[in-house]
Structure 1
Amino acid sequence: MPFMSYLDLRGNHFTGPIEVSNSSLSSSRLEHLLLWYNQFEGQILDTVSKLTTLIDIDLSFLNISYPIDFRVFSSSLKSLLKLDLSGNSISPASLSSDSNIPQSLRYLVLKDCNIGRFPELLNSFQNLEVLDIPKNRIKGKVPEWLWNLPRLSFVKLANNLFDGFEGSAEVLVSSSVNILDLSLNRFEGAMPILSLSIKILGARYNHFTGNIPLSICSRSSSLEVLDLAYNNVTGAIPQCLSNLRVVKLRKNNLEGSLPDMFSVGATLRTLDVGYNQLTGKLPRSLINCSFIKFISVDNNRIEDTFSFWLKASRDLQVLTLSSNRFFGHITPPDQGPLGFPQLRILEVSDNNFTGNLPANYFVNWKAPSLKTNIFGRMYMTDYENGDYADEDTIDLRYKGLHMEQQMALTSYTTIDFSGNKLEGQIPESVGLLKTLIALNLSNNAFTGHIPMSLSNVSKLESLDLSRNQLTGTIPNGLGSLSFLAFIDVSYNQLKGEIPQATQFNGQAESSFEGNAGLCGLPLQESCFHPSVPPMQHPNQEEEEEEEEEEEGVGLNWKGVAIGYAPGVLLGFVIGQVVASYKPEWLVKIIGTNILITR
């Protein structure tokens, strides 16, 4: 195939060697060779290095049994622009500054290659634009020379052991980098001053301290994504963050209130400030964020009523208000259905919400399925358009566990109203939520029956209705929910037999305790009570047998006692009559009749 220029064999799990004749190698015009996730054997790199027209090579996750020597690409691949060796072991010696890799290289991806030192050979790569070296073991400080590479625009150093930067706090200022991912390292101290061209900064899971630097405000015209989650940043949230598309400040020590900072047309998509010490109210200017999809303010000290006004944000998919001081009703003022048609996750647990939920409460909750790519993720790294490869995080109570979950918005459809003061019946309209995976209404004051309509929620995996005042029986239809892995109805007023289906028999006994009327597995209380005649005292039986033997007849001793007194009286009267006539044969006949009558 001498005219082939593009060969994509990714993800096929091919085995064996690649055999190419010398004549084919010499006449090849192949430019793009993509082989990731296969299991080729033999010296595949020798073959690849002879395809001199290649400009794009992807050999990631080939399970090559020997360390790859970078120098195999140095002599012949003069036009190489992209190289991805992720998931393979790299020879440390070949990463030194004298490896003589083609200077034309623009994209270098070395994810999960067990690298322990920063690749010094990159110092001379004046054309390098993308450096993607996450999930290695590189420790120490990021070298100062890296930021001097003139065309460098994307740097991903995530999931290593870096603890700082060489040079001054302004080492990044003159850099051309506009996407920088420092996540999952050990950086500490104050945040560095960002480059003037920065668009995306990911720095979650580090040890940065101090306030959010005001220098960020001077970058607000270019900065789109700021992720400082899981650090130890303190102080207030700057008002200048209003122009950003993604703001993630989860699990820091931020104080004060959320600034009411969003103007009409704001591009904010994600706001996550959970697990801080924020007070005040939700900023009403969030209504100006027409594109917002994700709002999480859980585990703060916000004191406000339910944000019905956010229904104007038609794309809102996740709303998490848990563990704050919200109060009042979560029922719309007009008592109609909840007005969030795109909502997938609603968590308002551990607040002070009160009132009833109308029967049509969930009618408008459509929760359409979202399209994903082959990785099942909504947001992926794209070097061309600069999307940030990170996922939103929620604090989720799921299958009886309390956990923090990193997730794409396609992963869950959940409702958590637990730990409030809600009362009345659970709305039958909950059965309309076809994509619902987890429902938690525990620790409230709901009454009435468990809705039969829950049997229609075919994807339900987790159901927690514990610690309410529910009555009636457990619907048998729940046993048809094939994905239902966790159910807890403990401490209600339920009665009757627990449905004998796999979904119920596999639960812990504690999931049903506290219901005096429930019986059947997995409880110890059986639903069947066979009648057993009362046991008689042995002495009583012996006495009866002795009396029956003495009488010589099958009469009960009580029957004898009843007939004894009248018999004596009648016998005395007849005896007097007989005595006056003395006919012995009559006495015998009358006596016999008396005995028969008795």
Structure 2
Amino acid sequence: MKIVWRLCLIFSLFNSVFVFASPVRHLCRPDQRDALREFKSEFIEVQFNTKIATWRNNSDCCSWDGISCDNNTGMVIDLDLSFNFDFMDSSVSLSGPLRYNSSLFRLQHLQSLNLSWNNLDGVLPDSIGNLKYLRVLSLFGCFFVGKIPSSLGNLSYLTDLDLSFNNFNSELPDSIGNFKYMKVLSLRGCNLFGKIPSSIGNLSYLTELDLYYNGFTGELPDSMGNLNRLTTLTLNNNKLSGNFPFLLLNLSSLTRIDLSSNQFQGMLPSNMSSLSNLEDFDISGNSFRGPIPSSLFMIPSLIKLVLERNHFSSPLEIGNITSSPSKLEELFLGENNFNGPIPGSILKLVGLRNLGLSFWNTGKGVVDFNIFLHLKSLVALDLSYLNTSSMVDLSIFSHLMSLERLYLSGNNLEIRSSLHLPSPIRLLTLSSCNISEFPKFIQNQTGLVYLDISTNRIGGQVPEWLWRLPRLWYVNVSGNSFSGFEGSADAIQKSEDLFVLDISSNKFRDLPLLPKSLLYFLGSENGFSGEIPMAICEPVYLDTLVLSNNNFSGSIPRCFENVDASISVLHLHNNSLSGILPEESISVYLTSLNVGGNKLSGELPKSLINCTRLEFLNVEDNNFNDTFPFWLRFLPELQILVLRSNEFHGPISYPGDSLSFPNLRIFDISDNRFTGTLPSDYFAGWSALSSSVNNLPIRLEVPSTFYYHRSVALTNKGLKMELVWSGFKIYKTIDISGNRLQGDIPESIGLLKELIVLNMSNNVFTGHILPSLANLSNLQSLDLSQNRLSGRIPPELGKLTFLAWMNFSYNMLEGPIPQGTQIQSQNISSFAENPGLCGDPLQETCGKEEEATEQEEDEKKEEEDEALSWIAAAIGYVPGVFCGLTFGHILASYKPDWFLRIFRSFS
């Protein structure tokens, strides 16, 4: 026996020596390593990706960052190359399309794939359906376009799917119902439209369904009533309609329902308490009406209730509730049709922490603010824009010891100099409160992080102590009469945590030194002058810079290449800046660039072609001297293009290629020197102007779009108007007026069914006015004046019920003006200087010759219609006679009972 043990010991020692003496064994299979290396080579900028940068050719790929392998087979089963979306992180995401034949799809044993926050613009290839063992797939924020491939339905093992914040622009395929093991489905912000497919009811294991921020329409499919394991349902920010979906009342497992910002209507059902596990219920921003059912307050698990921005009309009947819920912490009722005082019975909800009653209609009555003093647990209170005559004494809130967030904007405030709020205020909004002095009590609020005192009457200097508040990151003092800043020149610069500073619409003359931490700086509409200082680029993470409507001169600084975070919003319009638009000012992360209203010259920088996220480009009213920038058509998200009033010249049609702007909504190239003709298919690829589908790319809500509202000027109905960002989704305009364009109006103009404004005036267009313009059923303003158009005004234009303004003056039109309410209501000047036009509203009556011609055309049309009717009758008559004779012959050959059996079989 000892011999056996000795042999075992010797063998064990020998084996150990052999293992340690042998080369290191790599777990990763060579074919898997090669596939990963090839996948890396398919993209640009990967050398900066913090995960891929660690990949080394001579190492075990199973030890690479973002890779996990099966310990037995060496197959890659987990690939996580998600980009760390952190402005403090200098890594760069993968950039480039995901190819249909990508080496990624050779990793056939993948169970989890995460490529979130990479710039994989292009379509999501059908090949994704070949990764048949996938259980988790996350492609959040990858900028995919086109359709969600139906091949995804092949991934039958999927339990978690996240395609959020892509630009698919398609319907949700029926194959979505193939995921029989799916537990979490997230498709928020995917630009999806159409109805939610009924196949979604097949996902019997689904616990979370997130379709937030899409364009879904219609009612919820009845099949959703089968999702009895569902706990979270978020359908907010769509176009869903109908009454409250009663099918939800049967899904007793639901803990969260969010139907906000849709088009639901009607009354809430009375038996809401059947949702016995509900914790979070949000139906804000719909058209619900009537009383709020008391059964909502009977749900014992309810924590958050959001009913604001509806049409509820009767005050809250909390007084009828025998026992208030023990868990209700958040209640938002603002912006409804409540008329009368805020009910004192709200005191029953003693556990409230957040209460929102903004825009409560008290009929200009007096509000009893004492009712809030008893809600000792309040952490957040929103009483902004109450319709009351009461003066709000801020000291009344000094008894709420837990208060952290206080919204009082839009009320008439009284702030005593001796005021002291002992509660740790973190967020304070006092906008439009008729304040004339900077509130001194703020000095002691050392926990303050967010301060908004905009649109008041405060003058003088911004106090130096404000910048010593240690946690302050958001300051908005815009819309006052401030003239300067107290203290030293670097007082603001010492505020190390300041991220957002809005000092616009004041009387400042000296641009302050900004802290390096600043992300968003808004300084428009002040008295700044001289050159823009190079110090403006010292904030290394600057994202938004707005210095519009000042008196800056000189050139645009060439320092933006030092900005690590890369500017996404740069607005310098309405100054006196000169020189060229430097390449160094063009960040590849630009989403909005506005340098209009300056004295810039030269050519438009071609480096703009690298700005694949650019949505808004405005260079109006400058001295740019360049040809039409055809390369802009390669910017997939461009929505607003304004080149108005420059020295652009040459043709605007690209020889041998179509000019396609699929997402363009506003196209203004007026008052330049463009020449040439437009081919008949010129507008064929302008999808956003031809379809009612919302083609606007839906991006993640970033602070730059929240803190700054863009605007653009346009001509509508003959008048200049300013359109703010919120109207860009509605207004769809083309203005090519004031150029030297010639030839016929393109036939493809009739495809742009969503156009609101069309201005082709002051050119050299010839030929006839197209009857296909009647296809533009949303058109409100049409200007074809000052051209060389001939022929008649098409009577079909009289059918455009929204067309409130039109101008056909200074052409060579002839014949009677069509009869129609919209056309006849126009001013006489709309038809002036067309010697051949006659009829109302002109003083020139049509002679017998024109009337006879028109009558002849009508009679000719009637004759043609009658002839066509006779031809159709003849065509139908001959086969009818033939069939009748044949059928009669058959009947004569067979017995009558056979005919009866045939007849009964059909009936």
- TM norm structure 1: 0.82
Distance between the aligned counterparts of 2:532 and 2:602, measured in 1? 20
Rounded to whole Å, the distance in 2 between the matches of 1:526 and 1:19 is 68
Deviation at 1:369, TM superposition (A): 6.3
Superposed CA deviations along residues 139-176 of structure 1, whole A, max 9, x for unmatched, are 12111111111111111111111121112322210113
Match of residue 115 from structure 1: 435
Distance 1:120 1:459 in 2: 53
In structure 2, the partner of 1:398 is 716
Tell me what 1:251 maps to.
574
For 1:46-74, what per-residue CA distance to the aligned partner results, in whole angstroms no more than 9, with x for missing partners?
00121010111011111121210011110
d(CA) in 1 for partners of 2:580, 2:833: 42
Q: Is the 8 A contact 1:103 1:127 kept in 2?
A: no
Residue 398 of structure 1, CA deviation = 1.4
SS of residue matched to 2:687: coil
In 1, are the aligned partners of 2:398 and 2:423 still within 8 Å (CA)?
A: no
In the alignment, the residues of structure 1 paired with residue 588 and residue 609 of structure 2 have an alpha-carbon distance, to the nearest angstrom, of 10
Query: Is 2:501 the counterpart of 1:180?
Result: yes
Answering whether residue 546 of structure 2 is matched by residue 227 of structure 1, we say yes
Tell me which amino acid in the other structure corresponds to 1:85. L
Aligned 8 A contact 2:498 2:517 in 1 = yes
Q: How far off its partner does 1:387 sit?
A: 4.5
Structure 1 residue aligned with 2:193: none
Q: In the alignment, which residue of structure 2 is the partner of 1:85?
A: 408
- Go from structure 1 to structure 2 and tell me whether the alpha carbon gap of 1:416 and 1:159 turns closer, same or farther (over 3 Å shift): same
Q: What's the secondary structure of 2:413's corresponding residue?
A: coil
Asked if the contact 1:142/1:166 (under 8 Å) is kept, the reply is yes
Amino acid across the alignment from 1:83: L
2:370 match: 46
Distance in 1, matches of 2:550 and 2:401, equals 44
Structure-2 residue corresponding to 1:534: none
User: Structure 1's 152 and 370: CA in aligned 2 closer, same or farther, altered over 3 A?
Assistant: farther
2: CA distance, partners of 1:477 / 1:133 = 54
- For the pair 1:360 / 2:715, whether they are aligned, the reply is no
- Aligned 8 A contact 2:673 2:740 in 1: yes
The answer as to whether partners of 1:262 and 1:289 remain within 8 angstroms in 2 is no
Alignment check: 8 A CA contact 2:347 2:372 kept: no
1:195 positional shift: 1.2
Distance in 1, Cα, partners of 2:585 & 2:432: 40
Query: Counterparts of 1:184 and 1:372 in 2: how far apart (Å)?
Result: 34
* SS of 2:797 mapped into structure 1: helix
Report deviation, 1:487: 0.4
Taking a change above 3 Å as real, the CA distance of residues 122 and 85 of structure 1, as seen in their structure-2 partners, is same
Aligned pair partner of 1:324 in 625, 636, 646: 646
Quote the offset at 1:191 in angstroms. 1.1
Quick check: 12-21 or 487-496, which moved more?
A: 12-21
1-structure distance, mates of 2:742, 2:349: 78
State the Cα distance separating 1:27 from its structure 2 match. Answer: 7.1
1:349 aligns with 2:667: no
Q: Which runs of 5+ in 2 are unaligned?
A: 1-323, 851-907
Change (3 A) 1:337 1:229: same
- Specify the alignment match of 1:218 in structure 2: 538
Find the aligned partners of 1:9 and 1:277 in 2 and give their Cα distance: 50
> For the residues of structure 1 that align with 2:813 and 2:559, how far apart are their CA atoms?
54
- Do 1:379 and 1:391's aligned partners in 2 also have CA atoms closer than 8 Å? no
User: Paired residue for 1:455?
Assistant: 774
Gap change, CA 1:88 and 1:262, over 3 Å in 2: closer
Query: Which residue, out of 587, 595, 601, partners 1:273?
Result: 595
Decide whether aligned partners of structure 1 residues 25 and 400 sit closer, same or farther in structure 2, where only a CA change above 3 A counts: closer
CA gap 1:205/1:260 in 2 versus in 1, 3 angstroms: same
Counterpart code for 2:707: A
1:37 maps onto 2:37 in alignment: no
Indicate conservation of the 8 Å contact 1:179/1:386, yes or no. no
Q: Deviations over 1:115-153 (max 9, x none)?
A: 111111111110111111221111121111111111111
Structure 2 SS opposite 1:180: strand
Distance 1:386 1:361, change over 3 A: closer
Distance (whole Å) between structure 2 residues aligned to residue 387 and residue 357 of structure 1: 36
Residue 17 to residue 350, structure 1, CA distance change in 2 (3 Å): closer
2:605 — aligned with what?
Answer: 283
- Is this contact kept in 2: 1:177–1:195, CA < 8 A? yes
Is 1:308 aligned to residue 630 of structure 2? yes
Which whole-Å CA distance do the structure 2 matches of 1:247 and 1:353 have between them? 27
| Distance in 2 of aligned mates of 1:506 and 1:117 | 53
- Residue 387 of structure 2 aligns to a residue in which SS? coil
SS at 2:428 equivalent: strand
CA contact (8 A) 2:514 2:538 kept: no
Per the TM alignment, residue 530 of structure 1 is displaced from its structure 2 partner at its CA by 10
Q: CA deviation at 1:202?
A: 0.7
1:178-221 deviation digits (Å, cap 9, x = unpaired): 11111111212x311111211001111111112112112222x3
Q: 1:19 to 1:253 in 2, by over 3 A?
A: closer
3-state SS of the aligned residue for 1:261?
helix
Q: Which has the higher contact order (CA 8 A, sep 6+)?
A: 1
The CA distance in 1 between the partners of 2:557 and 2:636, in whole Å, is 27
**C-alpha displacement of 1:379:** 11
Quote how far apart the aligned CAs of 1:304 are. 0.5
Match of 2:334 in 1: 10
- Structure 1 stretch 144-153 or stretch 166-175: which is displaced more? 166-175
Instruction: Tell me: CA distance 1:274–1:34, structure 2 relative to 1, closer, same or farther (3 Å).
Output: same
The equivalent residue for 1:538 is none
Write out per-residue CA displacement over residues 435-479 of structure 1, whole angstroms, 9 at most, x where no aligned residue: 111111111100011111110111111111000000111111111
| Residue 420 to residue 17, structure 1, CA distance change in 2 (3 Å) | closer
Over 3 Å counting, the alpha-carbon distance change for 1:300 and 1:385 in structure 2 is closer
Contact 1:395/1:403 (<8 A) preserved: yes
What's the % identity of the aligned pairs? 45
- Measured in 1, the distance between the counterparts of 2:835 and 2:710 equals 42
CA–CA distance in structure 1, aligned partners of residues 756 and 444 of structure 2: 52
- Give the Å deviation of 1:350: 1.1
Residues 84-110 of structure 1 show CA distances to partners (whole Å, capped at 9, x for unaligned) of 1111100143xx2x2121341111111
Contact 2:367-2:390 at 8 Å conserved across structures: no
AA in 1 matched with 2:583: D
Paired with 2:559 and 2:731, the residues of 1 have a C-alpha distance of 32
Mapped partners of 2:535, 2:571: distance in 1? 17
Structure 1 equivalent of residue 394 of structure 2? 70
Q: Give the residue type in structure 2 aligned to 1:356.
A: T
Which of 604, 617, 621 aligns to 1:295? It is: 617
Instruction: Tell me how far apart the structure 2 counterparts of residues 119 and 379 of structure 1 sit (CA, whole Å).
Output: 38
Per the alignment, residue 515 of structure 1 pairs with 834
Paired AA for residue 45 in structure 1: F
- Alpha-carbon distance in 2 for matches of 1:379, 1:522: 49
* Superposed CA offset, 1:487-542 (max 9, x none): 011000001111222212221111100101111122111125599xxxxxxxxxxx
Residue 146 in structure 1 maps to residue 470 in structure 2: no
In 2, the alpha carbon distance for the partners of 1:530 and 1:217 equals 73
2:529/2:550 contact within 8 Å kept: yes
TM-score (ref. length: structure 2): 0.55
C-alpha deviations, 1:244-270, integer Å up to 9, x for none? 10000001011110112377x811001
Counterpart of 1:527 in structure 2 is 846
Q: 1:174 touches 1:196 (CA, 8 Å); kept in 2? A: no
